[in-house]
Structure 1
């Protein structure tokens, strides 16, 4: 665990983690608040809530690689300022829009989503050495899980006390403030000396070496499968507790789910070796399928612990491999497409999961989400056994004891 202390002693890394923690809280509260807003305020169905989520994720899928390439070419501030302005305007508009207008507004929110994930991964890959990258990415996952524990619970609290419309306005203003915080820090995203924007853009435009490969494509597929499983668990928890007429327990179940992921992320980062994302996704899918059998609040809370434990390691492993296989001057674009793999998975998964809840009940959410992740993992695993498609040998990124105290 001493590797985490090394990271925390670096003031640049520490400030970045603190900023990311507060920046993610409103973003992680938004999906649950939107679901409650559609189902309760607009008298919609879970399928309609899934449609809103799909519109947002499609927008993010388009915007993420575009914004990543802008970050590569123009730098953090010039690429992210439009997002800060957009979220401050769009969320308050969504709070008072009908369902017809909510869908295009959700698309625009996704298009201008503040790329917290991409910024963190790209900055950490520069601020820490290669041998500590898994530690840094795991620590970032832990920070994300801490935000996840607080975000949905805070969203439910605000909805309960002030209504979903007020919660959406608060999310928009909070995300804008968080974006301003990241702009103030302006973390380095490239290890080489900065060059003028125009010159850097010409250099990138002249770069002919492709960064995309079959190995990275499999990692994108695995990441999308992981997101489908997370959405299934997210919506399934809400649907089960509404069926049990105990929505007040949402915060408890989400806290245990996120807490298990936090523990999993800490242990994975401190472990002496990496694991294949394919193997982790397979375990994640298989542990998600039986969650829907829970018949009461405590059974549900205990059932989400194993799947939660595998969330952070699965996402961390995929990000670690993508960063290692991508050249630095194209990393922003690659991480942007990594974010797009999340959004494509969410765009496919959210309506399907919502429809399964409407048609067969809450248990269908966990069964379908876990099954999709399992099938994706098996396909990726089988394809990687073919000559030329398997992952390359991975460099040993374990940290020697003497390095931990440098």
Structure 2
């Protein structure tokens, strides 16, 4: 089907095969053999061709092309399909490569099979970690993907330090890969993890550096939006205007790519930052049953001077309805309305439990205002304990 699209395009644009060959950087004979079903093009050449000729139909045409591929092209197609969340096509490619006589194909099939099970929730985290620990791939790309999947699981378990230990130094191994496409994809994976891990380690400059590495890559818009989202969060304590600029950009890109839930997450983050900076505005988030949004509203009321309204709302919210990640924020809000050190201590404990050294600064700032001993604040902020 892809070849039909190309031939129709050549006819419509009155473009010869020589010009097409020049566009994608191969010989005219290579293009001719491809269009006449005598040879296959490398995956990266096909991707470049589609991007050049059909920029508005890239995902559609790649979805047609991918299932027809074998061996190395099929391996790269799996990574492409994972990026674009074409799960069904990835599953078909996994099965095709499992059936291959080439052991390298089967290695790639195994790792993408495990990643599919992770993203689709077909195995729980402990089961996935057990499966990964029993799997010892030989191929460098698969070894790196093995590391990434393990890192994703640790990150989802709020084990930021273990995630960092896995990824630290991985960039050099990634840059040894010959395929530019795979190298770029793996570096984007690395950037997307390292920007948040560094942020939660309170290594803000490094977090921003990795966010910018993703933004500067040729990536799909919603991935770039996540990087802008993380970049905006990093300015919480420093610069409201920069935080807002990046979060607004993230929200717009999410909406343009149909990621409404992601856009709402950006809105929640910006609302929190606006309350932190005491920005005078209306509260625009929808007050659903989501407890963190309701707690966010209580924070808004508090910063508007409505102490009674904030206290009443927070008293209606019980700590056990919050996730382990959100619970420290709830305690932080409770500490603000009650001006009680005990709630800030619980907030500190919670942020340390999920290894979030960045937002840990919130209760530490308040404890300092309440006259807490400096040496205790230094102990509380220590990453190792």
Range of TM-score over shorter length = under 0.3
Q: Over alpha carbons, which structure has the higher Rg?
A: 2
The structure with higher relative contact order (CA 8 Å, sep 6+) is: 1
TM-score, normalised to structure 2's length?
0.22
